[in-house]
Structure 1
Amino acid sequence: MKLDKPVTGGPCWTELGTNDLEAAKRFYTELFGWRPQTDPRQEAGGYTVAHLGDAAVAALSPLYQEGQPVAWNVSFAVTDADAAVAKVTAEGGAVLVSPMDIFDVGRFAVVVDPAGAAFQLWQPRAFAGAGLLNEPGALGWVELLTRAPERAVVFYTGLFGWSVNASEHYTQWGIDGADFGGMVRMDEKFPPEVPPHWLPYFAVTDVDTTAATATEAGGTVLMEPTSVPGGPRIAVLRDPQGAVFGVYRAGDEG
């Protein structure tokens, strides 16, 4: 990911919805060295921001809605959340959470693309998003896993104006020449009950050590550390509560 700060149309934040907030704090602190800070206001509902130094890098929160899965969610920055939601529905997507103001920090919505992959829209005000990108422990790449890649290209380029860098094996998303994410076609290796989804990857110093640490802390390695030909060393992990995320070696992103 070549973006070093949140920009309009790009990934600006990632947050975990979990059924055990305290356990998640312990796990990710051990894994990434995060310093979690829970908002004390009752109306914040336990929302916890994870920091590296003074920089906010991600969030952890309880599950706020019935049926909400334990999962990592990816937010993309927009200039107008209401207009973006209208565009989502016009292009065949749907709204899960209508635009709402979050204190004075921004305006927020949750939507799904036409294939069912959920993502968030963030209209920044006082809070632009992650204070670090591509540094160890911070968000470094976002990947769409979908069974309808051709439809996804039409939808996301129309919504955000992304560029598409497609090869035989992988499609990358970009903004103004800066690739920040990719897309994987979900084939028969994916069980039918696994829905399309966005997967955040966090940069780490050592993928193998991080995978071992995750296992020791009660997590699971879903994809063993692998060096992608011409690309980064990566792994896909699952935390003890079931949320899936990826890691890649910092500096490999190109």
Structure 2
Amino acid sequence: MANSPGDFIWYELMCRDADASARFYEGLLGWSVEGQADYREIKAPDGEYVGGILPLSHEMLAGGAMPAWLGYILVADVDQTVTALLDAGGSVLMPARDMESVGRMAMVADPQGAPFYVMTPAPPADRPDAESTAFAKYAPQIGHCAWNELLTADPAAADEFYRGLFGWTKGEALEMGPMGTYQMYNHGDYGLGAMMRKPAEVPVSSWAYYFRVPEIDAAVAYVSANGGQIAVGPMAIPGGDHVLQGFDPQGALFSLIGSKEA
């Protein structure tokens, strides 16, 4: 099934040292990172492309950019979406621009400041019906994103913003006591992710993207042995998987999901 507006279609790591990031994540997720210099593409173990690595320039770093993961959301028209986003209280971090053979995109933020991209891709000439599988919609895929999670300062406002802009719909909700409501969202016939109020100790609203690993304890051992840091987890979630969040050696927050040996 082809992608539709509102799908997450790409994930991008902004970092200081692309070579070092490639080595870290290749060992962690079984990715193959291709390309050099300005941009590198990430290939999952099944051969599908799921994202990219963008080295931060001196100008970006001077402007306050930090290592981070960002998601790309498919839209039918970038300029119309940016106008609607601004009307809804969002902001533009990088104006819309065209990239030859790639598409048109803009880096934006929701009203609470969480950044992401909107993009209208240009399909390859030899694959006009090409579909992104960066987000695994229907079945677990190692090295692909399995869940998109927003920690936000204002869940009610974020709910209105994203449902209005992308047509997402509410799914199940889990009440988590003092942590509030964990509200899940669907897009069409699949589960897209969730939103919840950010804890007070989390400084800013942001998206987290959970990439799937074969076994969560092996991932913990790898992160600890290769300069990363586990921040939260692993912890069990409904369905039998375990999740964790950590920081890679350059300080970018990453999130993982995977099974746990008995």
What TM-score do you get using the length of structure 2 for normalisation?
A: 0.85
Of the two structures, which has the highest relative contact order with CA contacts closer than 8 Å and spacing of 6 or more?
1
Q: What's the CA shift for 1:239? A: 0.5
2:39 to 40, 43, 47: 47
Number of the residue aligned with 2:198: 186
Q: What's the CA shift for 1:209? A: 1.1
SS in 2 for 1:86: helix
SS in 1 for 2:165: helix
1:59 to 52, 73, 80: 52
Could you tell me whether the CA contact under 8 Å between 1:211 and 1:237 is conserved in 2? Answer: no
RMSD: 2.0
Residues paired across the two proteins, number = 240
2:20 is equivalent to residue 23 of structure 1: yes
Number of the residue aligned with 2:159: 153
2:7 is equivalent to residue 10 of structure 1: yes
2:99 is equivalent to residue 87 of structure 1: no
Q: What's the CA shift for 1:243? A: 0.6
Runs (5+) with no aligned partner, structure 1: 40-44
Number of the residue aligned with 1:168: 175
Structure 1 residues 177-201: Cα deviation after superposition (integer angstroms, max 9, x where no partner): 311111121133x24xx21101111
Could you tell me whether the CA contact under 8 Å between 1:107 and 1:123 is conserved in 2? Answer: yes
Runs (5+) with no aligned partner, structure 2: 125-130, 177-181
Q: Percent identity?
A: 33
Distance 2:68 2:240 in 1: 26
What TM-score do you get using the length of structure 1 for normalisation?
A: 0.88
Q: What's the CA shift for 1:20? A: 1.1
Distance 1:241 1:130 in 2: 27
Distance 1:246 1:135 in 2: 15
Distance 1:229 1:35 in 2: 30
Number of the residue aligned with 1:113: 110
Q: Residues 139, 230 of structure 1: CA spacing in aligned structure 2 closer, same or farther, 3 A cutoff?
A: closer
SS in 2 for 1:201: strand
Q: Residues 6, 141 of structure 1: CA spacing in aligned structure 2 closer, same or farther, 3 A cutoff?
A: farther
Q: Which amino acid aligns with 1:219?
A: G
Q: Which amino acid aligns with 1:73?
A: L
2:236 is equivalent to residue 243 of structure 1: no
Structure 1 residues 118-166: Cα deviation after superposition (integer angstroms, max 9, x where no partner): 1110111126544562411111111101110000000000000100123
